């Protein structure tokens, strides 16, 4: 029996229920992608302790505490690959945050308001593999 193709595993960390559910339900239409959801850092940390993800879409809060999760991924402190694709969403982005995102090799920053289609395009692009350099 042929081996099943590996599905792309993405963790969505988004505190807003409606946005989270919308992204998860619409992302299910992307072939080969499994999206897990988390409303915040505490539940995300629990998932990250035991499961490897291929990519992440993370909503940054006012204090950008979620950058710590990205730092842990990049440091190899989770089962996920250190070079996993990461996108962040935010209401605003100051210079210090932009520099930190560059250091953490965040591939995409989505400033709110944005269309759900933009997140879906990001997830689809991530699932196809890293960009050519």
Q: Does domain 8-127 have CATH number 3.10.20.30?
A: no
DSSP state of 54: S
pTM: 0.90
**pLDDT tens profile 34-71:** 999 999 999 999 999 999 999 999 999 887 788 999 99
Strand ranges, E, within the chain: 8-13, 33-38, 55-59, 85-90, 108-111
pLDDT above 90 (res 1): no
pLDDT at 29: 83
In which residue are the tokens 């090799």 written? Answer: 105
Cβ(71)–Cβ(108) below 8 Å? no
- Select the more confidently predicted residue: 31 or 39: 39
Q: Per-domain residue ranges for the chain? A: 8-127
Residue 4 is predicted with a pLDDT of 56
């Amino acid at each position: 029996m042929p081996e099943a193709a590996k599905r792309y595993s993405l963790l969505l960390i988004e505190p807003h229920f409606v946005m989270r559910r919308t992204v998860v339900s619409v992302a299910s239409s992307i072939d080969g992608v499994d999206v897990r959801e988390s409303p915040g850092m505490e539940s995300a940390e629990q998932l990250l302790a035991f499961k490897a993800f291929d990519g992440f879409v993370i909503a940054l809060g006012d204090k950008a505490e979620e950058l710590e999760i990205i730092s842990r991924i990049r440091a190899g402190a989770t089962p996920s690959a250190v070079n996993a694709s990461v996108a962040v969403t935010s209401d605003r982005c100051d210079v210090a945050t932009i520099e930190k995102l560059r250091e953490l090799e965040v591939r995409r920053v989505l400033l709110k308001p944005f269309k759900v289609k933009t997140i879906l395009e990001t997830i689809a692009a991530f699932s196809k593999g890293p960009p050519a350099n």
